[in-house]
């Protein structure tokens, strides 16, 4: 893929989907500026990927983070992966105002500030990729922060594709279904505790609802992400790609 010597900022990169994307980019010869809240975790993750990975400790919801990330990037940037941890579980009317505000900052406010700081560094051929969720197409029971706010993120990707297209910058999103990461394991454990069941039983049940009958691997997200960030996807913009083993049954 056309990624060699390009530089990407990857959010939420110490583990899970973000880490797999950073690893895939580095494997393809790119440089990755990896961001997560825990300095220790992101430094260890970057060290594992070698000299083309640079760690930056920062909380995407923190208004001070974009400047620190921009400093770590230097002059040249080719793409941005907007990704972090997931928002809190819960049903709409039970979620506190504080958790709603936190979820907004995590999914929309923080990403907007990050893009304001970094988009000026992108030139013709630049690419932005949002990691969203299957909730952009179909609500997930018990995850209403995501069900309400993620469709807004998908809309943000669309309006940015419109606004940045004339500068040659492409904007897309990928929507994971159930990818086997700490986040998903935590959600399965919470459900098992709530329902008084074994975690393995919850996982089997959950996987059985997916047409491919299994959870996805972070690397399966990363390969799609790398394609969308590369010049090989030069005419793909404004697209929302599901990577979900067929989980979302909505048409189209």
Ligand X SMILES: NC(=O)c1ccc[n+]([C@@H]2O[C@H](COP(=O)([O-])OP(=O)(O)OC[C@H]3O[C@@H](n4cnc5c(N)ncnc54)[C@H](OP(=O)(O)O)[C@@H]3O)[C@@H](O)[C@H]2O)c1
Q: Which residues bind ligand X (CB under 6 A)?
A: 11-18, 35-38, 41, 59-61, 83-86, 106, 131, 133, 176, 178-179, 181-184
Structure tokens at 54: 């640079």
Residue with Cβ nearer ligand X (36 or 237): 36
**Nearest approach, Cβ of 34 to ligand X (angstroms)?**
8
Helices (H) and strands (E) in the chain, counts: 9, 7
Residue with Cβ nearer ligand X (11 or 79): 11
Residue with Cβ nearer ligand X (55 or 126): 55
Query: Which alpha helices (H) appear in the chain, and where do they start and end?
Result: 16-27, 39-49, 65-73, 97-104, 110-118, 144-164, 182-195, 199-208, 218-229
Residue with Cβ nearer ligand X (1 or 106): 106
Residue 128 phi, psi dihedral angles, 5° rounding = -120, 135
d(CA 184, CA 206): 11
**Nearest approach, Cβ of 231 to ligand X (angstroms)?**
25
Question: 63: exposed, middle or buried (C-beta count within 10 Å: 0-12, 13-18, 19+)?
Answer: exposed
Residue with Cβ nearer ligand X (141 or 166): 141
Q: Who contacts 40 (Cβ-Cβ below 8 Å, separation ≥6)?
A: none
**Nearest approach, Cβ of 234 to ligand X (angstroms)?**
25
**Nearest approach, Cβ of 215 to ligand X (angstroms)?**
7
Pairing of strands 77-82, 31-36: unpaired
**Nearest approach, Cβ of 28 to ligand X (angstroms)?**
20
Q: Which residue is nearest to ligand X (CB)?
A: 16
CA distances to 3, 19, 185 from 192, rounded to whole Å, are 41, 27, 10
d(CA 61, CA 114): 9
Residue with Cβ nearer ligand X (37 or 223): 37
Closest by CA position to 55, among listed 71, 44, 66: 44
**Nearest approach, Cβ of 83 to ligand X (angstroms)?**
5
């Amino acid at each position: 893929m056309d990624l060699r010597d390009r530089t990407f900022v990857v959010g939420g990169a110490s583990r899970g989907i973000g880490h797999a994307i950073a690893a895939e980019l580095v494997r393809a010869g790119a440089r990755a500026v990896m961001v997560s809240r825990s300095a220790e975790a992101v430094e260890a993750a970057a060290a594992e990927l070698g000299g083309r990975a640079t760690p930056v400790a920062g909380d995407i919801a923190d208004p001070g983070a974009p400047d620190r990330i921009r400093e770590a990037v230097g002059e040249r940037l080719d793409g941005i992966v907007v990704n972090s941890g997931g928002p809190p579980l819960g049903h709409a009317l039970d979620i506190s105002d504080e958790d709603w505000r936190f979820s907004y900052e995590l999914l929309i406010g923080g990403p907007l500030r990050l893009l304001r700081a970094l988009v000026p560094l992108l030139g013709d051929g630049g690419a932005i990729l949002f990691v969203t969720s299957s909730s952009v197409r179909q609500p997930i029971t018990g995850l209403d922060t995501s069900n309400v706010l993620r469709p807004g993120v998908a809309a943000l990707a669309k309006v940015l594709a419109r606004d940045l297209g004339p500068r040659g910058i492409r904007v897309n999103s990928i929507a994971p279904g159930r990818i086997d990461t700490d986040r998903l394991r935590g959600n399965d454990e919470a459900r098992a505790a709530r329902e008084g069941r074994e975690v393995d039983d919850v996982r089997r049940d959950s996987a059985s609802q997916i047409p491919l009958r299994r959870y996805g691997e972070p690397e399966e997200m990363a390969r799609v992400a790398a394609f969308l960030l590369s010049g090989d996807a030069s005419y793909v913009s404004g697209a929302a790609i599901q990577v979900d083993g067929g989980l979302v049954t909505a048409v189209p």
